[in-house]
Amino acid sequence: MSWLSNALTSSIGRKIIMAVTGLFLCSFLVIHLIGNLQLFKNDGGQAFNVYSHFMGTNPVIRTIEWVLVAGFVFHIYESIMLTRRNKAARGPQGYVVNHNEQNSPWQSRNMGILGTIILIFLLIHLYNFFYRARFGDLDPDINNNDDLYTLVVSSFHQWWYVLLYVLAQIALAYHLIHGFKSAFQTLGLTHRKYTPFITYFGYAFSIIVCAGFAVMPLYFFFIK
């Protein structure tokens, strides 16, 4: 199988892994967003707690969870390997004057910084909600499900936590604006009939998904 490992560790092979895992993580964002919309149901969090109980116990979900972990691990690992290769390719002597802001968008040149912001957010987010839901001892709600809803509401009443969420979603939106269409380009999926649609869909996807996530902390902080 050396041909396969050689292919996947080549410059294009690593890019392809970035693209595939990136699009897979986009599909996760959609599921996560749709599920979390239950926070807006005005029932004291019962529907949200039923949903989070399902997500935490269903064997199919628990299996896919590991695929999701692998998706994140490969996406991050390949980004480190590619960044190291690319830094080495640029060489130690940089340009004294370089105006690359005149030939490329900012977010496309700063995917690593945006990704790092998202990773830091992700670790805090996982600790606060995922870890405490799975391994902590949350009080039961009236249906005897773990009351994750109350934890969400109390978290989203802290201004710094809300700010962190909103900033992370802005970073994610910029990351996706470049990443979504870029993944199709890397996979060679370009066509004059479909590429314009993919580009516009990528913009809409990035903004709608990230705005959807950002609305949740803002809703609880300012309205609820």
Partner 1 sequence: MAGSNPNAKPLNLTLKVWRQKNRNTNGQMVDYQVRDISQEMSFLEMLDVLNEDLLRKGEEPVAFDHDCREGICGSCNLFINGRAHGPEPGTTTCQLHMRKFNDGDTITIEPWRAEAFPVNKDLSVDRSAFDRIIQAGGYVSVNTGGVPDANEIPIPKSIADQAFDAATCIGCGACVAACKNASAMLFVSAKVSQLALLPQGQVERKQRVENMVAQMDKEGFGACTNIGSCAAECPVGISLENIAILNREFLAAKATSNNLA
Binding residues (CB under 8 A) for partner 1: these are 2-3, 6-7, 10-16, 82, 85-86, 88-91, 93-100, 102-105, 108-109, 111, 178, 181-182, 185-190
- Pick between residue 138 and residue 198 the one whose CB is nearest to partner 1: 198
Which residues have C-beta within 8 Å of that of residue 71, sequence separation ≥ 6?
21, 24, 25, 28
Closest CA to 145 of 49, 12, 11: 49
Minimum distance between the CB of residue 181 and partner 1, rounded to whole angstroms?
8
- Pick between residue 55 and residue 177 the one whose CB is nearest to partner 1: 177
For residue 28, give Cα distances in angstroms to 8, 31, 142: 24, 5, 30
Minimum distance between the CB of residue 186 and partner 1, rounded to whole angstroms?
6
Minimum distance between the CB of residue 204 and partner 1, rounded to whole angstroms?
19
Minimum distance between the CB of residue 79 and partner 1, rounded to whole angstroms?
10
- Pick between residue 163 and residue 187 the one whose CB is nearest to partner 1: 187
> For 184, how many CA atoms within 13 A lie in the half-sphere containing its CB?
19
Specify the residue for token string 């990704």. Answer: 115
- Pick between residue 16 and residue 133 the one whose CB is nearest to partner 1: 16
Which residues have C-beta within 8 Å of that of residue 8, sequence separation ≥ 6?
14, 16, 17
